[in-house]
Amino acid sequence: MQCITILPKNMALDLGHWTNKQCFNMKKFYVLGMLGLIFCSQLSCVHQQPSVPISRSGVEKSVLYEVNINNQEVFVAHEECFADTIFETAICELAERTQINISFNNIISKYRIRPDSKDIKGEVDGNELSFEITKPQMLVIEINNAPPLLLSLLPIEEDIPKPDDPNVMYFGSGIHDAGLITPKSGQTIYLASGALVKGRIYGEDLENVKVKGRGILDARGYTSKQEKICAIEFRKCNDITVEGIGLRAGEWWQTLYLLCNNIEVSWMHLLSFGVNNDGIDIDGVTNFYAHDCFIGCGDDGFGWHALDAETNGEPPTQNCLAENCVIYNTHAGNGLRIGASMETSLFKDITFRNIDVLEHVHAGIRSDHSDWALCENITFENFFLEKPGRPIEVKVEKTRYSNTTGFRDERGAIKNWNFINVQSPGGKIELAGFDKLHPVNQILFKNCCIGGSPLGESSIVKNEFVFNVCIENDQSTCFVY
């Protein structure tokens, strides 16, 4: 973290005309100033940390919003996303305490700063909205009935690679027609601020690959539902990092990590709202960590499943964590989904924590477990749904997604799922096992709320193959919608 100490312009240049006493004092001041600079570089001098607006290429400027962050203008783009969804977007790096001012093109009659769980209070003066935040995060601002404004407020970037590094595929500011990008082991794909890279990323049998930067990958025209081509896909890879970039995908899943180990995905902002536009999908992955992302999607925000055991085998998905993410699901799908296809032996030790689902079409949390995996030790903690309807659906069932190749036609089981401080403005929770041998068992609801009140049995619908459901409401604090 940096901290800038400002000294008089000529102080370090020419002290010859000063008296000895004056020179001594100024030198002492200079030394103290430099010591302060060194000291500040080791500490959190947040109040002096600059914000860094991220430039953009290949997008129109918004006519609705102007954004000023810490007295710096930030470019606001008008983005027509896949499937006719419009977002206005602004990207900025910042440290901690930050003043944000938004100018709208009309008098502000109503506004909303989402996620609601952040409880950020704004002040309105005519067509101006101002508020303060204390750390980088993803926010959606809604004013009157205009298209939403996505603020991707990212941490200050570190370890920026050099353009001439032979192990870096460097895309500088501007528009790049890259097509298919296929890194090698040990390489970094870097999208600099202001870069708009048209293409997709695919890696197989790789190790130690990074995709990072503050630019945008625009995969529209490079993906395919029919051929199941994603915007970003890593297959049979280890130690993959994706950090800080924006993704604008076309049809099919936006990102997929298949048969991989040790994956970290962070500070991405994804916007694609068509059929099958899942956000961040995994299949057969061990040690996965996704955090601080905005997932704008036309299907499941997180789609964690297991497809095609005949081809991929039956590796477990385990030790996976998603936290501090915001999901905006429209068109079809769910806030997140474990399933439907579960053609593997084991799904275990998975946590979703500090998740805000601003919009969801079907269920907020859904598992339509359609195959034979044992799915156990799954936790949802501090999970906030902003739309009423179907908050939670957990079922073991035979569906159109169940294996039909003849490889294995069998149901699995769900065991030891924990819902801790899950809150929804309304709706029923549905639980269903398949039969006595393939049940839903050991389900805990702790300090959960529906419609602003502590969860009760009347809000849960279950069949005869659901066992050991426990509700605890100790010191529950329900969010008021």
125 lies in the same domain as 272: no
Among candidate residues 155, 178, 200, the one where a domain is terminated: 155
Tally of CB atoms within 10 A around 307: 20
Q: Which two tokens stand for residue 179?
A: 């097509």
Is 150 contained in some domain?
yes
Rounded CA-CA distance 473/114 in Å is 26
CATH code, domain carrying 77:
2.60.350.10
- Residues of the chain with pLDDT below 70 are 1-49, 475-481
Pick the closest to residue 259 from 226, 232, 233, 223 (CA basis).
233
Q: What pLDDT shows up at residue 96?
A: 80
Rounded CA-CA distance 95/136 in Å is 7
Q: E strands within 172-293? A: 174-181, 188-191, 195-204, 207-213, 216-218, 232-235, 238-243, 246-248, 255-258, 261-266, 269-272, 280-283, 286-291
The total number of residues written for the chain in this structure: 481
Among candidate residues 155, 179, 206, the one where a domain is terminated: 155
The values of phi and psi at residue 426, to 5°, are 170, 165
Is 58 contained in some domain?
yes
Is 246 contained in some domain?
no
Nearby residues of 112 by Cβ (< 8 Å), 6 or more positions away = 141, 142
325 lies in the same domain as 454: yes
Let me know how many helices (H) and strands (E) the chain has, helices first.
2, 41
381 lies in the same domain as 261: yes
Q: Which two tokens stand for residue 169?
A: 């595929």
DSSP 3-state of 434: coil
CB 168 within 8 A of CB 186: no
Distance from the Cα of residue 109 to its chain's centroid = 30
Report the predicted TM-score, pTM, of the whole model to 2 decimal places. Answer: 0.89
DSSP 3-state of 28: helix
DSSP 3-state of 184: coil
Beta bridge partners of 361: none
Is 216 contained in some domain?
no
Is 227 contained in some domain?
no
Is 386 contained in some domain?
yes
Domain span at 120? 52-155
Rounded CA-CA distance 106/66 in Å is 12
Beta bridge partners of 423: 384, 449
Rounded CA-CA distance 43/16 in Å is 34
429 lies in the same domain as 315: yes
274 lies in the same domain as 419: yes
Q: Is 442 left (phi over 0), alpha (psi -120 to 50) or beta?
A: left
Q: What's at 126, amino acid-wise?
A: G
Q: Which two tokens stand for residue 467?
A: 């066992």
Q: Which two tokens stand for residue 442?
A: 């050991």
CATH code, domain carrying 269:
2.160.20.10
Rounded CA-CA distance 46/344 in Å is 48
What CA–CA distances, in Å, run from 80 to 71, 97, 145, 230, 247? 28, 31, 17, 20, 13
Pick the closest to residue 51 from 155, 132, 137, 151 (CA basis).
155
415 lies in the same domain as 292: yes
Q: 201-236 burial, b if ≥16 CB within 10 A, otherwise e?
A: bbbeebebbbbbbbbbbbbeebbeeeeebbbbbbbe
Give the CA radius of gyration of the chain.
25
- Considering its fold, how many domains does the chain have in total? 2
Is 243 contained in some domain?
no
Beta bridge partners of 77: 61, 89
Among candidate residues 155, 174, 193, the one where a domain is terminated: 155
Q: What pLDDT shows up at residue 43?
A: 39
Interstrand relation of 280-283 and 255-258 (parallel, antiparallel or unpaired): parallel
Rounded CA-CA distance 477/82 in Å is 39
Rounded CA-CA distance 77/67 in Å is 11
Is 267 contained in some domain?
yes
276 lies in the same domain as 391: yes
In the chain, how long is the greatest CA-to-CA distance? 94
Pick the closest to residue 360 from 334, 384, 392, 386 (CA basis).
334
CB 372 within 8 A of CB 411: yes
